[in-house]
Structure 1
Amino acid sequence: MIQTMRWFGPNDPVSLMDIRQAGCSGIVTALHQIAVGEVWSIDAIKERKALVEAGNDWYSPLHWLVVESLPVHEAIKKGLPSRETYIENYKQSLRNLAAAGIKTVCYNFMPVLDWSRTELEYTLPEGHKTLRFVWEDFALFDLYILQRPGATADYDAAVQESARKKLAEMSPAAIQRLTNTVLLGLPGSEEAFELANFQEMLDTYAHIGDKELRENLYYFIRQVAPVAQELGINLCIHPDDPPKSLLGLPRVVSTESDLRQLLDACDVRANGITFCTGSLGVRQDNDLPGMVERFSDRIHFVHLRTTRRDADNERNFHEAPHLEGDVDMYAVVKALHKEELRRKANHYPDQLLPMRPDHGFQMLDDLNKKTYPGYSIIGRLKALAELRGLEMSISRSIIEF
């Protein structure tokens, strides 16, 4: 696989030189400064590409290989009449990216919130800090801080009572910290949602259930995927994180069945998947190695990470060491390597999959630095080293066909 890391642009505390020293050749980035729904101009794209590739030389080049993400406007997710304008803008952004030579574009279709956690500095016994999601804490926020109408239907009586008791023992600072964590904005953004108007945003989805959100996703992909196909761009949807309904909102990219329905809705190769082992691996019913085999031709980008579910409550999880969590990383990487060999044998132009280690620990010297949650450099360097060694051992043990 092509080793890459996510970089959030000029304001990222992690530098491009840090990523070069980690041994990566690819950069995964986005134009976070452009408002969601607006066209990414050719000039803005070329400016970012020039920044990424400045100073390249023969021994350690960097290239902007993947866009993560080109966000989908809420009007598209909600199926509003204005979606037509935003879909046309999306197509134009794809055309501009293709003109700059960027051919892999990641996006997601999670309503309102992107990825959700309840703790950003969960400390492991070794002293690492990592991301964590606790169902009881999320219920506490939903029921007693946000006080969402109808929220009690989503939590059993025991969870409601334990959350109520926990709230009574929390300090104002702890309550504010939980609120800020749940309402955190998109990775790479300095903005977060405000509690005062957050319920209003949820209310705009009052009449959008599972069926409607799926229809809106399929409408979008049927409009943009054929354009991407003509441009030679691979679109790849990121699974829901976590892959469960939250805050009464539907989530429709959580299971193998969800992905199959999406791929069948527009059967062109450009309509593909970001195979995130962390998001998909939170669910026990997702067979990740089998999914790699069954979706092989439509996987365009790979996020390798793993989580550890709590033994007494599988809805609780934290980011785990990349080779030690609930994901069978050996089996997944082996399946991905076999897919690369298949592509090589069939002379695909995209024989190697871009991969990035995701959600590394905050550790060592990075414990004293402010970075985007999950994206400090040392933890990702550790993860990449482990994954690089795993991939090499697998590649040397498989007879190429």
Structure 2
Amino acid sequence: MKQTWRWFGPSDLVSIDDICQAGAHGVVSALHHVPSGAVWTPAEIAKRHSEIAVMQDGASSGLTWDVVESLPVSEAIKRQVGPWKDHIEVYKQSLRNLADSGIRIVCYNFMPVLDWTRTHLNWRLSNGATCMRFDLADFVAFDLFILKREGASDDYPVGIVADAQHRFTAMSGDRRAELERTVAFGLPGSVENLSLDDLRALLATYADIDADLLRRNLVAFLEEVVPVAREVGIRMCCHPDDPPFALLGLPRIMSTEADYALIMQAIDLPENGITLCSGSLGVHPENDLPGMMKRLGDRVHFIHLRNTKRESDGLPCSFHEAEHLDGDTDMVALIEQVLLEEARRKAAGRADWNIPMRPDHGHDILDDLNKQGQPGYPAIGRLKGLAELRGVIKALSHRLEATE
């Protein structure tokens, strides 16, 4: 696997120098300042390449921009309203511009309104580290008593509603304000947070869109853009829903292996691929991550290695970000399947045999606790995760080579 690192641009508190010292070989980035629905111009793309290529003292970093995460799909495209056809043409042009610059992998998602959703960005663990967490009672309290979404109580079992009522009653004003900010945090790297009125307005636009319609809109989007990706040599890969269950009355369509199988069959081209995020998918108890890699691996173009721990049975559920080698996903078994897939690709002569991965998320530890960096993306916590994953990769690679 090619070991990469997510970087949010020059404002990221984790610098290119830090990435070099962590031992990553490539960078995952995006033009977060470009609004959704606007073209990524050659000039802006070239600027990001140049920012990645140098260290603070002007020396070459040796790093390359290997994966775009994410080229955003506008809400107009997801709902097929307003200028959605124009936005698709803009998306195609951005793909062409990225390909001209040497980019070959583009990650995207099709989650309505919100990207990943948490209730805590700095939940304290027993060892003093902090992590991100989704607490179901807190989230339902937000939905019912802060957002006050119409009909929200019908979406949850009576027991959870009662728990949420008790939780909300016991919350301080500061915690209520924190919960509001956290749920409406928006996209990773985004400079904009959503107000409650913004969120209510966006939710209203999905009132008549169920999972079947949203899935048809995804297929229609892919029918337009995947042929362009194929033409210019880009592999597209869809990130799963996070968390992998419905929230705020919004549909979820990329949460399980069956969801991915449907989309892969609908647009049966190798350029229509998968971002295998073991953390997001791992929250769903039906997802067997090593098995998914074994069965769908030929369409996996990008991998997020992180782990999550469910705190209750069934769905929806509470969960938190676990250490990379802990949690509900057997990370060793998953990495073994990735290495076997790479070996198959290499034997078949595929140019894309070396699949990029990044250590996704991480606990805030040591100096991370004082830096107030991008939530989920601390320097030392990710470095610890990458080191652990690198050790597993090295040990399994040694064993697999010995059996050849």
With the length of structure 2 as denominator, give the TM-score of the two structures: 0.97
1:319 to 321, 330, 336: 321
**Which structure 2 segments of 5+ residues have no match?**
none
Partner residue, 1:111: 112
Aligned to 2:247: 246
Residue correspondence of structure 1 range 139-218 to structure 2 within 5 A: 139-218=140-219
Alpha carbons 2:69, 2:108 under 8 Å: kept: yes
Amino acid at match of 2:13: P
Q: Tell whether the 8 Å contact from 2:77 to 2:217 is kept in structure 1 after alignment.
A: yes
2:5 and 2:70 map into 1 onto residues whose CA distance is 13
In the alignment, the residues of structure 1 paired with residue 172 and residue 297 of structure 2 have an alpha-carbon distance, to the nearest angstrom, of 49
- Contact kept? 2:302, 2:357, Cα under 8 Å: yes
| CA drift at 1:197 | 2.8
The structural deviation recorded for 1:312 is 6.0
Pairwise mapping of residues 294-313 of structure 1 onto structure 2 (< 5 A)? 294-311=295-312
User: Cα distance, 1:186 vs. partner?
Assistant: 0.6
Equivalence map 1:6-155=2 (5 Å)? 6-54=6-54, 61-155=62-156
1:250-295 CA-to-partner distances (Å, cap 9, x unmatched) read 0100001100011111111110000000000001101111110111
Q: Which residue of 2 aligns with 1:382?
A: 384
Cα drift, residue 196 of structure 1: 2.3
Please tell me the residue identity of whatever aligns with 2:298.
Answer: D
Cα distance in 1 for residues equivalent to 2:36 and 2:393: 36
Counterpart CA distance in 1 for 2:126 and 2:320 is 13
Equivalent in the alignment of 1:328: 330
| Inter-partner Cα distance in structure 2 for 1:219 and 1:274 | 19
Q: Which residue of structure 2 lines up, in the alignment, with residue 261 of structure 1?
A: 262
| Alpha-carbon distance in structure 1 between the residues aligned to 2:312 and 2:258 | 26
Residue aligning to 1:366? 368
TM superposition shift of 1:189: 1.3
Identical aligned pairs, as a percentage? 51
The DSSP-based 3-state class of the residue aligned with 2:303 is strand
Distance in 1 of aligned mates of 2:338 and 2:166 = 46
CA distance in 2: counterparts of 1:51 and 1:119, whole angstroms: 32
For 2:396 and 2:87, the matched residues in 1 are separated by 44
Q: Distance in 2 between matches of 1:31 and 1:286?
A: 32
Q: Count residues in correspondence.
A: 400
| Matched residue type, 2:106 | V
Shift of 1:42: 0.4
Q: Report Cα offsets for 1:141-181 as digits up to 9, x if no partner.
A: 00111111111111111111111121111111110000100
- What code does the residue aligned with 2:225 have? V
Shift of 1:386: 0.1
TM superposition outliers: structure 1 runs of 4+ over 6 Å: none
Shift of residue 313 of structure 1? Answer: 6.8
One-letter code aligned to 1:189? S
Q: Give the CA deviation at 1:54.
A: 2.4
Q: Which amino acid aligns with 1:248?
A: G
User: What is the alpha-carbon distance in structure 2 between the residues aligned to residue 114 and residue 366 of structure 1?
Assistant: 23
**Matched residues in 2 for 1:203 and 1:312: separation?**
31
SS of 2:341's equivalent in the other structure is helix
Report the residue type matching 2:285 in the other structure: Q
Alignment partner of 1:295: what SS?
A: helix
Deviation at 1:228, TM superposition (A): 0.2
CA displacement 1:70-112 (0-9 Å, x = unmatched): 0000001001152110000000000000000011100000000
Contact 2:130–2:365 (8 Å) recurs in 1: yes
| TM-score scaled by length of structure 1 | 0.98
Structure 2 CA distance, aligned partners of 1:312 and 1:102?
Answer: 41
Matched residue type, 2:148: Q
CA shift digits 1:1-58 (9 cap, x unpaired): 1011100001001100000000011000000110011000001000110111125978
Q: C-alpha separation between the residues in 1 aligned to 2:167 and 2:320? A: 20
Counterpart amino acid of residue 141 in structure 1:
F
- Look up the SS of the partner of 1:364 in the other structure: coil
Separation (CA, whole Å) in 2 of partners of 1:351 and 1:168: 54
How many Å separate the matches in 1 of 2:261 and 2:129?
Answer: 37
